[in-house]
Amino acid sequence: MKSELEIFREYIRQRGLRRTPEREEILQQIFETHEHFDVDGLYLRLKQKGAKVSKASIYRALRLFLDCGLIREVDFSDGHWHYEYIYGHGPHCHLRCLSCGQIVEFEEPGLPLLQERLARQYGYRIADLQLEVKGYCSPCQAEQQDD
């Protein structure tokens, strides 16, 4: 399997874009941990490492990573976009606690079947299928009962 860096470099070459060490640094930071992240959090992590990046350049880099399929946007309905890397990480869904914000990842074997069915039924080429389930985690439920 190609590394995320190889994928990205190929993409840059195909598009005739300039290769910058800054973008590669951002990419490596993203692939260091499988965490859901937002621009502010990523910016902080890079700053702590002494990287000289601006938020604007992070936004621009993220658009490129999205476009070549290395990361995806996840909507946690809190008013801004979160991201996570998907390359080398199997498709998965999210359970999100509405009280504490905890995210649990799970795999749903039925989803590829649903995707196939939708593609057939509507003649779509499906690029992304996400399932997000919202609720309350056990500790939060226990807390609610205490009140």
**Which residues would be at the binding site for Zn ion (CB under 5 A)?**
84, 97, 99-100, 102, 105, 137, 140
Specify whether the CB–CB gap between 70 and 62 falls below 8 A: no
d(CA 93, CA 135): 14
Q: Which is nearer to Zn ion, 17 or 104 (CB)?
A: 104
Q: Which residues contact 22 (CB under 8 A, 6 or more apart)?
A: 51, 52, 53, 57, 61
Q: Which residues contact 104 (CB under 8 A, 6 or more apart)?
A: 94, 95, 96, 137
Q: Which is nearer to Zn ion, 27 or 137 (CB)?
A: 137
* Min CB(94)–Zn ion separation in Å: 6
* Min CB(98)–Zn ion separation in Å: 8
* Min CB(21)–Zn ion separation in Å: 28
Q: Which is nearer to Zn ion, 10 or 105 (CB)?
A: 105
